[in-house]
Structure 1
Amino acid sequence: MKVMKFAPMKEILKLAEEQKVAYGAFVTVSYETALAAIEAGSELNCPVIFITGTDCCDLMGGFEGTVETVKRAAANAQVPIALHLDHCRTYEECVQAIHAGYSSVMIDGSSLPFEENIALTKKVVDYAHTLGITVEGELGKLVGEEGNLVVKGPEGAQTDPQEAKEFVERTGVDCLAVSIGTQHGHYIAAPQLNIERLKAIQEVVEVPLVLHGGSGTPIDQVQESIRHGIRKINVATDVLTAVADSFEELKKQPGFKYNTAMFVNSKNAAKELIKGKMKDFRFEK
């Protein structure tokens, strides 16, 4: 029996760069949320990138359980699939994920001083690249909550273009997550992406750029960011909201019963949300 191997995220982002589009990176917390993205990508012939924080992995039995869950969902996939560890803050956990079978890791040292962020990121890059694993770094801080990290403050937390250039050159990362005005979680007010700052970063950085906090960001701003170098867009809150809302809507129907149909419905709701994002990020109608 052929053993499935996840695709290097670097190769998927290279394809995005060639086509001048972005690919969504979608959260998964279960078999059905993984299957939702696999089916969406297969129907649209679109590569799929999965993002899992360590909290997501806990729901699926750790790194090994997550790898097994996604591989089972992707058994019949007809498109490249990357499994990416999101917002990891330690070298040790990145190594554990790599050994478990992840094809990509993000080491998030954005809360550290600049030199410490470089040192930690380079350490992960030096190890991961010997095994052909993609590494994403982050510079700048997204406002909002991601796991245990809480960041407050507007433009002062955004990515500095010259620091981004130095960071990429000294660490060797394959892609860089930048802060240009998005945030994690639900928005209280609509964001205004700092496209001028993104343009300045794109001019001096030669690796694909990543936009975190893609949920709830107006699509016209998202597509403008894609025009200026964003090649991967993380979507978590919108996926989880689609799943939660599907349960609430189903409960309103006459004759509702608690049964497994709830989970089929939630998978389909996530699938439709993901298909919409995939089309938007590739400028499809």
Structure 2
Amino acid sequence: MGLVTSTEMFKKAYEGKYAVGAFNVNDMEIIQGIVEAAQEEQAPLILQVSAGARKYANPVYLKKLVEAAVETTDLDICLHLDHGADFEICKSCVDGGFTSVMIDGSKYPFEENIALTKKVADYAHDHGVVVEAELGKLAGIEDAVNVGDHEASFTDPDEAVEFVERTGCDSLAITIGTSHGAFKFKGTPKLDFPRLEKISGLLPGYPLVLHGSSSVPKEFVDLCNQYGGAIPGAQGVPEDMLREAAKWGVCKINIDTDLRLAMTASIRKVFVEQPQVFDPREYLGPGRAAIKAMVAHKLKDVLGCAGKL
């Protein structure tokens, strides 16, 4: 077992009409909770590191924690850079042992995005690393990514085909209505499935990616608020929509906010109900357990990738 690319994972996911979970990691407890769930569920796994995580925990620490996860399980794990901002960051991660990197050139005009993505893809491929790119602008806030609703734009199907052909990227993050953060919809949730079906039809066999796909479970929002939180009106992507997306070529679904909510809710509960606690293990332990339960649910009941190893 070891660190692997996502190539084989995506091939099996596409053929099986399920999605692989890509979970953002920031510290040891989050990694442990995710990995323990994937181990028990025998599910393929992508652990991804954002710019914020690299700044918070140091890339070397995160890489060593992921290596520890590989050594203590029988899992093959893909280590992925989430939202790489430029060539230098992607190159650093390729050189540092990541097996997958995302170059996010979605903020640039079409031709600039193509040029940047191709540059990253050429370098990464020369080193045996796969590349995810993004076309279309996803609304919402996540770490260094901050796009207002007025700036967001859905992916054009015809442009997607040209983009993939000209860049050589191995997977493509598309925009069909999801968004980063805990406040994804104002009103009734809706994804543009006709657009997804068209893109998938024009790129048969090609793995698509959905960012901003946390479901923001009401139970955890309520639990946070019950124990002193202030996140009213939070709303995510309904889980049945994610299951539907996996039928149309979406092979990777990114989940971060749900992990934050699960951990924060459990820690808040400990602080309120056990104010005498000051040993970090006594509140981080329940946080880790909440992460594990959340991920196990996603793998089994939403992504459909449990038992696929």
TM-score above 0.5? yes
Counterpart Cα distance in 2 of 1:143 and 1:156:
5
1:202 is aligned to 2:222: no
Aligned residue among 94, 98, 105 for 1:102: 98
Aligned residue among 74, 80, 84 for 2:76: 80
Gaps of 5+ in 1: none
Look up the match of 1:257: 277
Counterpart Cα distance in 1 of 2:39 and 2:203:
32
Shift of the alpha carbon at 1:37? 1.0
Structure 1 contact 177–209 (Cα < 8 Å) conserved? yes
Counterpart Cα distance in 2 of 1:78 and 1:17:
23
Look up the match of 2:246: 226
Counterpart Cα distance in 1 of 2:73 and 2:45:
10
Counterpart Cα distance in 2 of 1:25 and 1:274:
10
Look up the match of 1:242: 262
Aligned residue among 163, 166, 170 for 1:170: 166
- Cα–Cα, structure 1 residues 96 and 255, in superposed 2: closer, same or farther, change >3 Å? closer
Structure 1 contact 180–195 (Cα < 8 Å) conserved? yes
Counterpart Cα distance in 2 of 1:272 and 1:118:
39
- Cα–Cα, structure 1 residues 248 and 262, in superposed 2: closer, same or farther, change >3 Å? same
Counterpart Cα distance in 2 of 1:243 and 1:68:
22
1:27 is aligned to 2:48: no
When the two structures are aligned, how many residues end up with a matched partner?
280
Counterpart Cα distance in 1 of 2:69 and 2:298:
20
Structure 2 contact 52–144 (Cα < 8 Å) conserved? no
Counterpart Cα distance in 2 of 1:96 and 1:155:
29
Over the matched positions of the two proteins, sequence identity in percent amounts to 39
Shift of the alpha carbon at 1:195? 0.3
**AA partner of residue 92 (structure 2):** Q
1:136-215 paired onto structure 2 within 5 Å = 136-153=132-149, 157-187=153-183, 188-189=185-186, 190-206=188-204, 207-215=206-214
Structure 1 contact 27–51 (Cα < 8 Å) conserved? yes
1:268 is aligned to 2:289: yes
**AA partner of residue 27 (structure 1):** N
SS of 1:224's partner is: helix
Shift of the alpha carbon at 1:124? 0.5
1:49 is aligned to 2:46: yes
Structure 1 contact 89–107 (Cα < 8 Å) conserved? yes
Structure 1-normalised TM-score?
0.93
Look up the match of 2:87: 91
1:114 is aligned to 2:110: yes
Structure 2 contact 117–133 (Cα < 8 Å) conserved? yes
Structure 2 contact 19–303 (Cα < 8 Å) conserved? yes
SS of 1:35's partner is: helix
Counterpart Cα distance in 1 of 2:96 and 2:149:
36
Shift of the alpha carbon at 1:5? 3.9
Structure 1 contact 139–159 (Cα < 8 Å) conserved? yes
Look up the match of 1:282: 304
Q: Say which is worse superposed, 147-156 or 242-251, in terms of deviation.
A: 147-156
> What CA RMSD, in Å, does the superposition of the two structures yield over aligned residues?
1.7
Structure 2-normalised TM-score?
0.86
SS of 2:71's partner is: coil
**AA partner of residue 176 (structure 2):** I
Shift of the alpha carbon at 1:77? 1.6
Gaps of 5+ in 2: 216-236
